[in-house]
Amino acid sequence: MEFHTFSNEIVFFDLETNVPNKTGQHFHILEFGAIIVCPRTLEEVESFTTLIQPKDLSVASLRSSRSDGITRDKVADAPSFEDVAEKIYGLLNGRIWAGHNIRRFDCVRIKEAFAEIGKAAPEPSGIIDSLGLLSDKFGKRAGNMKMASLAAYFGLGVQKHRSLDDVRMNLEVLKHCATVLFLESTLPNQLEGKLGKLESSSKIMTRSRSSYQTAQRAMPYSKGSLVKMTHNVKDLLSKAQGNQALQSLIKHSHSLLR
């Protein structure tokens, strides 16, 4: 495979795999999804997703508890990993890799898959693992820091556990976290930790592998308070700074948080 470098481009990617339930059983990639984003604007410029047929179809579940989940029937006619390896290589090689928990999971599975077909694996120019990054910078405000919990914290909907949907959700979560952290760093004495302060608690639906269950989870804001919160922050910054650049930032953060 020819080597190209795109060292300043960011590719968010996600894998969906089987869940090994027997000793010695391996992970098999069932779906790959990726988006390339502009590092300056963080806008999506290219996307790709494909289901992948495993060599052993029995590793894919016959049924899924999710309405559009991945089943054996769905991957039966999908291309093999070898069929799409060149496309995946071209998307990943030489770019900055980004994703949630990719260091421990997705990066390992990609290398395994390329090794299995006897081809060189793509190499990143850098790695952004949002799980480690947000655990360090954002703390445990959203609970267990799983993508589903972070998405619920910011009101971004339910994680679908489909590759392309999940990488787009990952990008939105990062944008929201970055906005909150930037605002807090602007006036640390007044805002640090307050934008993430829990104001109410409500019941939301969480998803387990086998069934739905209702869990009591702390939510970041009371109903309808997101817009009110950003207006309050805007007023605070206006009084404290009177800085036009900050006003532009608040308008942007308002559009993200509403």
Greatest Cα pair distance in the chain:
64
Contact between 11 and 97 under an 8 Å Cβ cutoff? The reply is: yes
Location of structure tokens 């990008």? 171
**Active-site residue flag, 176:** no
Q: Both tokens of residue 28?
A: 């098999």
Location of structure tokens 């640390």? 188
Catalytic residue among 4, 28, 100, 161: 161
User: Residue 42: left (phi > 0), alpha (psi -120 to 50), or beta?
Assistant: left
Distance of CA 217 to the CA centre of its chain: 20
Q: Name residue 57's beta-bridge partners.
A: none
What kind and span of H or E run contains 50? Answer: strand 44-51
Q: At what angle do helices 130-137 and 163-186 cross, to 10 degrees?
A: 20
Enzyme catalytic residues: 161
